Amino acid sequence: MRVTGSNQSGSLFGSVSARPAVGSGVVQAAPAARPAADIPTVLGIPHHEFTPRVRDAIMRLMGEVDALRQELAQHRRRMAQLETEADHDVLVPCLNRKAFVREMSRILSFVERYGLPASLIYIDLDNFKEINDRHGHAAGDAALLHVCEVIRGHIRESDLIGRLGGDEFGLLLAKANQREADMKADLICQIIKASPLVWAGRAVPISFTTGAYEFKAGENPAEAMARADRAMYERKKARP
């Protein structure tokens, strides 16, 4: 086999250009080559049939391939992290409104296609402004975090919670009909009332209202959210 140059295009392994370090203008050294024993053949040719220079060039190229693979894996991990951050609320550990609506669209498609039950619980904090006014905005943020964590601790892995607005949350219940959603909403009310927020050494009760609604085939997310919101306000008006 004849090799006329390490940068010749159209060679057996193709051309590989050296990549400079960011901002340095200096060509980076290739990663440490792997031992020849680790590379028994290249394209079916045993390594001992190559000249030392060709073998060294192959080792350098394979080291660069390994480095590129590691860099690609790092970029993929970073992209996955950014996608996760883009879907989550900036304050509490749950989905933001955009991601929540997207997941609701997905569940609605399953409802329509397979006839599976699913429901939405709309949760509105009644005394959120009072908490902010009496205890400060830091206490208000703590109240939102407390509610979110309590709910997360009492739902299934298949259920999803999202923050829909300032003091409003939504809970998606897969394979849950209206009766089951009503029961879940009542249970959440009981749990949160039994575990008030503790702020500055004092218990701060959190009052809220829920509205449960079972999805219907053919609905879109805006219609379903409006009906769950209406169910919540009906319960709020009926409160003595």
Catalytic site positions: 167
CB distance 182 to 192 below 8 Å: no
Reduced to 3 states, what is the DSSP secondary structure of residue 160?
Answer: strand
Say how far apart CA 124 and CA 181 lie, in whole Å. 16
Opening angle at CA 126, ends 120 and 129, nearest 5: 130
How far is CA 71 from each of CA 75, 78, 104, rounded to the nearest angstrom? Answer: 6, 11, 35
Say how far apart CA 84 and CA 170 lie, in whole Å. 19
**Residue 121 one-letter amino acid:** I
**Residue 5 one-letter amino acid:** G
The residue count for the chain: 240
